[in-house]
Each structure stands twice: as structure tokens, then as C-alpha cells.
Amino acid sequence: MRTNDLFAFATQSLLRARMRSSMMLLAMAIGVAAVVMLTALGEGARRYVTAEFSSLGTNLIIVLPGKTETGGLNPALLGGDIPRDLTIADAAALLRIPTVAQAAPIIVGNATISSGSRERDTLLMGATHSLFEVRNWGVKQGEILPNIAWEQTGSFCVIGGNIARELFPQQSAVGQWLRVGDRRFRIVGVMNSEGRSVGFDVQELVVVPVATAQAIYNRTSLFRILVKARSAQDIQRTRTDIVEALKARHQGVEDVTVITQDALLSTFSDLFTKLTLALAAIAAISLLVAGVLVMNVMLVAVSQRTAEIGLLKALGARPAQITRLFLMEAVLLAFLGSLIGLGIGELVTWAARQVLPFEAVAPLWAVIFGIVVAIACGLIFGILPARRAARLDPVLALAGKL
């Protein structure tokens, strides 16, 4: 039988059994749509997180106190204990490395802030003028922290937009006084909404000079040092140089962890890629279920069409031809169903993109995976009914005695 004829014959018999065909199409479509939608979600989450980490700033290197032996994501990043101090002098020493463009020592703590009768708890960050450059932070009103020596204290601060709105609802916050504990700070700037950050919201932040924060918390150790390399090519070299420089300053003990943005990015990217794979596998189960449905419906089709199968045999159809006819129907259904499912999945993810904060796009591999698995299911689950049809006894089939 010619392929064209095989195709036409299968199409005609599918069109004839509209209800049956549409049920199987639906099952297959749901399966493929599930693959598309779930992987789009996973991929979207991956892109979102990757974008978040990219927003940390370009060519960023993070120096943490304490040494861990494992690579990749350091638990200290997520808030572990701090075994050995990093100091402002350490941060200043890093500026002497030729490939370091900028360094920013940071201290982070909680503080109760107030203005007049308004009071709230917030995150207090001790930082420097250079932090704003390293992190690409800007202000919508006033100025960023002035460029004073790192060891110098100062009674001024930059605050996040939410804090400005809550504490100074009717007026401009710039120039106002803010009370932190028993100290008073002049507000020099209000951060703009562009500044996004992983771990905390800059809109809820109060930034004071790093030496002042040391005084408030009565400690010299830093939370971390952010370093900006001069270029992306310099990152690995800079990383080594930082480790060496700090080792030299710490009596030859390598007691810091240096994380590059790349390492962070690839860790999270890997994590989310695995998540997407897992989602695809879960969605593939629905394809399997669809395959079982196809098998059952095809078995019913075979028993309803015994007379036709008998006739085809009488007209000279070989068993292999009968098998091919029924397999063709199953595969055709699976293929059409997967195309419909693809359409539905893409439509839903398009709709999701309009409401979700991240780009939910099914990766190409998932689309191909969905279609291939659907067709494979059609083939595998089509074999049993097709072979049953091929094995029918023509005499009994023609007589309708099956």
C-alpha cells in the first residue's frame, strides 16, 4: 500500500469515528499541553532567578568570611556563622589588586528607626559610596552616600522608597532627620525602584556609612565584601588574587570564601533546569495515560470494524498491511493531538506571560520531547490493537462472528 493511500485510508476512518477520534485527540492534547505548560513554568522560574542574580551587578565577586571546602553555592551566603573577621582594611587591601575596579564592604543588621511618632523595624546596611556603583543602585531623590573615607563615620543615610513613604508620607524625605536607636541621621537620598536585589528589598533598606554601622553594632567584622572586576575576562584571575591577598593578610590562613556571580548563576540555573526536567517527567505521565486510553479506544475500534478487517483480508491485504493501517491511525491521532496540545500549551503560557512576573516559555527540547513521547505512546499503545486486527480470522470476521 502506498504511503499516501495508507494516510488517506487512516484519515477517512478517523473522520468517520468523530467522537472516538476527538476523545483520543483530547487526551493526547492534554498530555502535550501539560508538558508545554509545566516546562514553561520551570523554564520561566529559571530565567527569573537568573535575571535576579544578574541584577546583582556585572562582573561581581562576593567575598565572605569563613572557608568551606565545597564548591558552588556557599551556605554562608544564606546566613551561616562567621568564623573569622573580614575588616574594612581587608576591603581596602583588595583595591590594590590591578583587576579590581571597585570594592564595597558591607555590614547588615536589624534596627528600629523612627521619625517623630512613627517607628518601624528595618534592615540597616553599613556601606560605602562604592556600593552604589558595584550594585548599580541609584536614587530618585537627593544623592547617594557621599564618598568619604571608609573608616570615617557620618550622620547621614540613604533610605528605600517604602521607608520614605511610610515615615514621611506628606513630604520629601530628603533633608529630614531619621532616628536609628539613639543616633540621628540626615537623609541625603531616597533609593529608586530600579534597585532590585536577591535576599532583601532595597525599598525596605536604610544605608549608613560602614564605619557608623560598625559603631552601632560595636563590631569590626564585615558581613561581606562585594568586588567588581574590571572585565568579565578578569573574574577568574581576580578571584585567585583576592584569595591570595586575604591569605597574606590573615597570617597565611585561607579563611575566606570567594563566590563569583557565574558560579551562583550556574548553580541556580542547573537547579532550575533539573526542576524543569522533573516537571517534564511528571507531565509525561499524563501522556502515558493518554496512550493507555488510545489503546483502549483502538481495541474497541478493532472489534467494531471486524467486518471491514475481514473484507480487507479477502481483498488481499497482508497481515502486516492491516497492522500498518491501525498503527497509522494511532500515530496520526497522537501527532494531531500533540499539535493541538502544543497550541493549547503555547496559548496558556502566552496568557501566563501576561500576568506572571517572569517569562514562561517552554524550552524547545520540551516541545520536541512532548511530541516525540506522544507519537511513541501512539505507536507503542497502538501495536496491541493493530496486531489483534491483523490476526483476526477472515472467515469469522466477515461473518461478523467475532
Partner 1 sequence: MIDLSHISRFFQVGGETVHALDDVSIRIGAGEYSAVMGPSGSGKSTLLNILGLLDRPTSGTYLLDGTDTTSLDANALARVRGERVGFIFQTFHLVSRLTALENVELPMVLASRAPAERRARAKELLQRVGLADRVQHRPDQLSGGQRQRVAIARAMIMRPAVLLADEPTGNLDSASGKDVLDALERLNTEGLTLIVVTHDQLVGDRAPRRIRMLDGKVLDDVRR
* Residue ranges that bind partner 1, judged by CB under 8 A: 1-2, 4-5, 9, 12-13, 15-16, 307-308, 310-321, 394-395, 398
Output 86 or 317, the one with its CB closest to partner 1: 317
Output 149 or 395, the one with its CB closest to partner 1: 395
Q: How far is CA 274 from CA 36, 39, 73, 332, in A?
A: 16, 10, 16, 32
Quote the least distance from Cβ 317 to partner 1, whole Å: 5
The answer to whether 159 touches 206, Cβ cutoff 8 Å, is yes
- Rounded Cα–Cα distance for residues 271 and 293 (Å): 34
Output 8 or 198, the one with its CB closest to partner 1: 8
Around 253, how many Cα atoms within 13 Å sit in the side-chain half-sphere?
11
Quote the least distance from Cβ 349 to partner 1, whole Å: 38
Output 189 or 310, the one with its CB closest to partner 1: 310
Output 2 or 117, the one with its CB closest to partner 1: 2
The answer to whether 361 touches 44, Cβ cutoff 8 Å, is yes
Strand, coil or helix: 209 = strand
The answer to whether 187 touches 176, Cβ cutoff 8 Å, is yes
Calculate helix-pair angle for 306-314, 261-304, nearest 10 degrees. 80
The answer to whether 287 touches 377, Cβ cutoff 8 Å, is yes
- Rounded Cα–Cα distance for residues 245 and 240 (Å): 9
Residue 63's DSSP bridge partners are 225, 258
Residue 108's DSSP bridge partners are 125
Quote the least distance from Cβ 350 to partner 1, whole Å: 38
Quote the least distance from Cβ 385 to partner 1, whole Å: 19
Quote the least distance from Cβ 309 to partner 1, whole Å: 11
Quote the least distance from Cβ 54 to partner 1, whole Å: 59
Cβ neighbour number for residue 46 with a 10 Å cutoff: 22
Cβ neighbour number for residue 150 with a 10 Å cutoff: 20
Output 120 or 388, the one with its CB closest to partner 1: 388
Q: Could you tell me which of 291, 290, 345, 336 has the C-alpha nearest to residue 38?
A: 345
- Rounded Cα–Cα distance for residues 192 and 168 (Å): 16
Quote the least distance from Cβ 393 to partner 1, whole Å: 8
Quote the least distance from Cβ 330 to partner 1, whole Å: 18
Output 12 or 251, the one with its CB closest to partner 1: 12
Output 3 or 70, the one with its CB closest to partner 1: 3
Q: How many residues does the chain have?
A: 402
Helices and strands in the chain, H and E counts: 12, 10
